[in-house]
Amino acid sequence: MNSHTSEKILDASMALFSQRGYNSVTTKQIAQEAGVSEMTVFRYFVNKRNLFEQALERFMFSPKFKALFENSLVWDLEKDLLKISYYYQDALHKNQKIILMHFKNDGLDYKPESPLFKYPNELKKLLVDYLNRMKEKGALEENPEVLAVSILAVNFGFFMTYLINKRLTMNTDLDSCISNFVKIITKGVTG
């Protein structure tokens, strides 16, 4: 498989999917945008759904998170949760068109193995591992899995609120919300 050709097809598909939505884009349009034949699209990706999932996976998964958890945390709960939250917000904002498109399209089912859900689940695993280690160090008393889900859910809620309804929150900046949330949660879990 020629990686240059597959990259062109993936780039073209995500540009079209994010502009028009999954249901409104055909494989013929993707092929035309990528400068390849429709048969080439099928040869590389078999069908539109598989192409969409591979493109979403490519754009959603960020190896930066693994590196963050492996190399950049300082083992200070408040500082680390703040850094993790900012990384997560950055990833969500970079992929906002893709995320909104996924929610807008009826033709996309929401399976747990879908890239839209796989990415947060991978992040959750990393976060649970980190929180378990912090619990072993005595830095928190709460259930790490419940805490991880809470952190991800609140961050996703911040993202959606700012993305969809900026008028409700126009007097409050995202950084202040994240910072206050992390301070409150840190105080609440350290006993």
* Distance of alpha carbon 84 from alpha carbon 78, whole angstroms: 10
Q: What pTM, to 2 d.p., does this model score?
A: 0.74
Q: What is the mean pLDDT of residues 51-79?
A: 83
The domains located in the chain, with CATH, are 3-49 (1.10.10.60), 61-189 (no CATH)
Q: Residue 182 corresponds to which tokens in the numbers above? A: 């992390």
Q: What is the mean pLDDT of the chain?
A: 85
* Distance of alpha carbon 130 from alpha carbon 176, whole angstroms: 24
- Provide CB contacts within 8 A for 66, sequence distance 6+: 126
Q: Are 14 and 95 in contact (CB under 8 A)?
A: no
* Distance of alpha carbon 68 from alpha carbon 122, whole angstroms: 13
CA-closest candidate to residue 59, choices 123, 108, 130, 11: 11
Does 167 score more than 70 pLDDT? Answer: no
Does 34 score more than 80 pLDDT? Answer: yes
Does 4 score more than 80 pLDDT? Answer: yes
Does 137 score more than 60 pLDDT? Answer: yes
